[in-house]
Structure 1
Amino acid sequence: MTTMPVWRSLGADPGGPLVLAVDYAASGRPEAAFGDLAVEHPVWETVQPPLGAEAGFELADYVDGWLAAVPDRPVEAVLGYCAGGAFAGELVARLAERTGRAAPLLLFDPESPTPLTMYYQYRKVVESLAGVLGAERTAAAVADGDRAMAEADGVEQAGAALARIFVGAARAACAEAGLEEEYVDELTGTYRSFVRYLTAASQADHLKGWTGAYVFSSATPTSGLNPLAPAARAELTDRELRFDVEHADLLRTPAVAAAVTEVLAKAQASR
């Protein structure tokens, strides 16, 4: 039987109503995570499946696994960061089917992954490992990624091709550097897991799922709704709050936490 994702509590949890948060919070990433968002509510964050268990996961596999582990407690709100926003919209809809009430949806630089998303993340991880890969292998991996993007048809193909290239390059470089196999397995497995997560997120109908959501946007031009034309942006939400902070700092910014707390208080008062 495939192991499904579960949740972890961020901070103290005295019981009662919950806030659920969807993110791929890998250790060592530079971007702030929901653990950095200072709100006075019990927050449960998604945990990814054990490395390798996610192979073949689709959108429904993730969402079904999360739903099965949500206890019989009121859900105050559902939060989503980046691609986690696509899952968060699905989660709100499924919870509404179960409880008869749609929890508020709060999105932070939300994105619906595209092949370009896959390539951006690929370049980021390849360049972050340039010290291990070396200049020649890094350049080759970038060139191979460019060719894969030109040939790929859709998110699934792009992700699979980029994962193959990265795993091959990383394993060869780590072997030459004499790095332990356990480290190599974790490195390549984490990247494959993230690619699967993005692929599944791309399957969500975000236009439908984000209806009525509160969107918290950073000032980074390439993040969240910022690359969109004004009309496309307005189609997704009329509840956008913009902050003059970088994408990586969005969840650790006190003004964002204060705005989230205010939204949650209003939602609680309106019930």
Structure 2
Amino acid sequence: MPVWRSLGPDPGGPIVLAVDYAATGRPEAAFGDLAVGHPVWETVQPPLGAEEGFGLADYVDGWLARIPDRPVEAVLGYCAGAAFAGELVARLSERTGRPVPLLLFDPESPTPLTMYYQYRKVVESLAGILGAERTAAAVADGDRVMADADGIEQTGAAFVRIFCGAAREACVEAGLEDEYVEELTGTYRSFVRYLTAASQADHRERWAGAYVFSSATPTSGLNPLDPVARAELTDRELRFDVEHADLLRAPAVAAAATEVLVKEKVSR
């Protein structure tokens, strides 16, 4: 299975790497929407089920071992992918002996609250399948998990149990094929494992010196942080008046990211 995929035209030469959990049908823009004038290669998630038990190093080691044999101009990270991007930059810099620019878009280090937010989002998005009663019950169960949250690993596992149980029952009642059910529950389980592994990164150390591109959504990226904590993470933040979901498709963001890439290339 591939671990990297090329996004858009690729004439060869230096590349930019991007880390994201790009799932079909998600409302947020992806790196395929970000036109930076460089060939971009994006991470590919392990086959569903193969990620069981994965930690931060398992993802990073797998991606690092299969990076195309071409110069890497920069590494990009979106949301929780920023945690992995920081690790990739550290390892690449050690390998090549030169710094690799790091560009982060609404970077987040996942917490139990992140798990809860994503759980609510997926449950509510599937209300048409789950039905009103089962959706309300799943939301209430999630609220109880969050009230008793004891670490991201345990919280994520609890959300997986609740969601997969509710989703399987609803899909069986709706007469949906087993293949669809397995893909639906497997994708959610995979995403929770991705978030759990991302939380293991030392983001304070790995994001030092990174360029941060922030949306205007109050709950996304660095926006929930107080000014002091925000300043401690980066002194290279660019803020844009766009929603989190549109950050990677905004022309102003693409132009600013391209400018950074050009500047970094010239400086090296």
TM-score of the two chains, using structure 2 as the length reference: 0.99
Q: What is aligned with 2:179?
A: 182
Residue 35 of structure 1, CA deviation: 0.0
Code of the residue aligned with 1:186 in structure 2: it is: E
Q: 1:74-85 alignment to 2 at 5 Å?
A: 74-85=71-82
Code of the residue aligned with 1:140 in structure 2: it is: A
Residue 151 of structure 1, CA deviation: 2.4
State how far apart, in whole Å, the 1-side matches of 2:149 and 2:230 are.
27
- Among 57, 60, 65, the alignment partner of 2:62 is 65
- Among 38, 45, 50, the alignment partner of 2:42 is 45
Count of residues in Structure 1 that have an aligned counterpart in Structure 2: 268
Code of the residue aligned with 2:17 in structure 1: it is: L
Residue 94 of structure 1, CA deviation: 0.4
- Quote the sequence identity (%): 86
Pairwise CA RMSD: 0.8
Q: What is aligned with 1:254?
A: 251
- Among 11, 19, 30, the alignment partner of 2:16 is 19
Q: What is aligned with 2:151?
A: 154
Code of the residue aligned with 1:90 in structure 2: it is: E
Code of the residue aligned with 2:4 in structure 1: it is: W
Code of the residue aligned with 2:60 in structure 1: it is: V
State how far apart, in whole Å, the 2-side matches of 1:43 and 1:262 are.
16
Deviations 1:70-127 (A, max 9, x none): 1332110000000000000000000011101121000000000000000000000000
SS at match of 1:12: coil
Code of the residue aligned with 1:264 in structure 2: it is: L
Residue 199 of structure 1, CA deviation: 0.2
State how far apart, in whole Å, the 1-side matches of 2:21 and 2:58 are.
15
- Among 137, 146, 167, the alignment partner of 1:140 is 137
Code of the residue aligned with 1:104 in structure 2: it is: P
Code of the residue aligned with 1:212 in structure 2: it is: G
Code of the residue aligned with 1:114 in structure 2: it is: T
Code of the residue aligned with 2:23 in structure 1: it is: A
State how far apart, in whole Å, the 1-side matches of 2:68 and 2:112 are.
35
Give 5+ residue unaligned stretches, structure 2. Answer: none
State how far apart, in whole Å, the 1-side matches of 2:66 and 2:53 are.
20
SS at match of 1:45: strand
State how far apart, in whole Å, the 2-side matches of 1:194 and 1:224 are.
18
- Among 193, 197, 202, the alignment partner of 2:194 is 197
Q: What is aligned with 2:111?
A: 114
Q: What is aligned with 1:221?
A: 218
Deviations 1:154-206 (A, max 9, x none): 11000000001000000000100111111111000000000000000000000
Residue 150 of structure 1, CA deviation: 2.2
Q: What is aligned with 1:266?
A: 263
State how far apart, in whole Å, the 1-side matches of 2:8 and 2:231 are.
35
Q: What is aligned with 1:97?
A: 94
SS at match of 1:164: helix
Give 5+ residue unaligned stretches, structure 1. Answer: none
Q: What is aligned with 2:169?
A: 172
